[in-house]
Amino acid sequence: MRQDARTTFDDALGPARHTAFAPGEFVGQESFMQAGEIVSLATRAGVGPGVSVLDLCCGVAGPGRLITAELGCTYMGVDSSSSAVEIARERTAGLPCRFEVAGVPPLPAGEFDVVLLLEAILAFPDKETLVRGIAGALPVGGRFACTVEEGHPLTRAEAAAMPDDDTVWLVPLRDLVECLERSGLEVRSLEECSDAHRMAADSLIDAFTADRTAIAARVGGRAVDELIAAHSVWSDWLAQGRVRKFALVAEKTRELMQER
């Protein structure tokens, strides 16, 4: 997506997103997470002054801007979208943030105290390679913090109902925990956020529907309809227990050979 198109899309959805979240809870995130959840997860991962954070699939870096300003960390965001990164750079001016345009894996060179992956592990079909790369970017004692959509892989019917289903790769929680353990990462914190994220999805559906005409004038009616349809599917799955959402922190407890 071109920078001007990404900016237009972000600006078009902004008023509805502000309406959907409680005051102070929308900070530019492109997800179901509230600001309080983002800070809570980062705090459980030990983010604070002097801590180096690598944020994978950072998008426009709403969460990155929040934790850098509130928790005093140093921050590097990585995203494959050059337009998203350009917006992120503009919005984090004056903060100790830097960015790189790149797909992952592989991860950027260097070592970080904390690696974040918020609302995006779903998009990786090969979680084993991803997790090994994350482990390789952490020292022993470093932490990996993420949100995860837990469930069995989509059926054909479910995939047909979900726009962009090629970015929806659910994983059973046990399988993910075992994957983490194989890379030397031990789960230290696990909190379910299914209900909160279902309510956020419902609020966003209402806000997008109410603002549909104004949003469609900026990005087109089809884009709005697909956005609402995707949110509706997530709401249904979360309500039914088909998918459960968790916020997870894992600590690297040992080195592995040839991690990077």
Here the CATH number for the domain that contains residue 53 is 3.40.50.150
| pTM (global) more than 0.85 | yes
Domain of 155?
3-194+241-252
Predicted local distance difference test score (pLDDT) of residue 63 = 97
Predicted local distance difference test score (pLDDT) of residue 103 = 92
Asked if 240 and 138 touch (Cβ cutoff 8 Å), the reply is no
38 domain-assigned? yes
211 domain-assigned? no
204 domain-assigned? no
**CA–CA distance, 203 with 80 (Å, rounded to integer):** 28
Predicted local distance difference test score (pLDDT) of residue 3 = 45
In this structure, how many other beta carbons lie within 10 angstroms of the beta carbon of residue 74?
Answer: 16
219 domain-assigned? no
Exposed e or buried b per residue across 207-227, where buried means at least 16 C-beta atoms within 10 angstroms of its C-beta: bbeebbeebeeebeeebbeeb
Half-sphere exposure of 41 (CA within 13 A, CB side): 30
**What parts of the chain have a pLDDT lower than 50?**
1-3, 259-260
232 domain-assigned? no
226 domain-assigned? no
Predicted local distance difference test score (pLDDT) of residue 258 = 55
Q: How many residues does the chain have?
A: 260
Domain count, the chain: 1
16 domain-assigned? yes
98 domain-assigned? yes
Predicted local distance difference test score (pLDDT) of residue 76 = 98
Residue 106 structure tokens: 């592989």
Exposed e or buried b per residue across 124-148, where buried means at least 16 C-beta atoms within 10 angstroms of its C-beta: beebeebbbbbbbbbeeebbbbbbb
Predicted local distance difference test score (pLDDT) of residue 2 = 43
Predicted local distance difference test score (pLDDT) of residue 7 = 80
